[in-house]
Amino acid sequence: MLRAKVTVTLKPDVMDPQGTAVAQALKTMGHNDVQSVRVGRFFEVKIDGNDETAARAEVTSMCEALLSNTVIERYEIAIEKIAEKAAAAR
């Protein structure tokens, strides 16, 4: 079994008002060293099988179709093998 970890973030040239609000809130709380914050999303997808290349292609298709808005967002995919017992426990 495989686990795909997908991180979706705004492209660098896209304004992030939510990140700006979080950064300002952190500064208000006394975290004055914060320069900026970018907000994103994280997905964890478990996939049957052991073919990492096929899994990456499938998850890429998921990202392009649903998990991200490729006009303003980018995504990163990390694939890892997980033990069957560990997968059943989660």
Q: For the chain, what are the domain ranges?
A: 2-89
Q: How many CB atoms lie within 10 A of CB 75?
A: 20
pLDDT of residue 90: 59
76 in Cβ contact with 63 (< 8 Å): no
CATH, domain 2-89, list 3.90.1150.10, 3.30.460.10, 3.30.1280.10, 3.40.50.2000: 3.30.1280.10
Tell me the whole-structure pTM to 2 decimals. 0.85
Q: What is the pLDDT of residue 61?
A: 98
d(CA 76, CA 87): 22
pLDDT in tens, the chain (90 residues): 999 999 999 999 999 999 999 999 999 999 999 999 999 999 999 999 999 999 999 999 999 999 999 999 999 999 999 987 655 665
The residue count for the chain = 90
Which residue stretches of 5-83 are H helix?
A: 17-28, 52-62
Starting from the edge strand earliest in sequence, which strands make up the sheet with 40-47, in order? 40-47, 2-10, 73-81
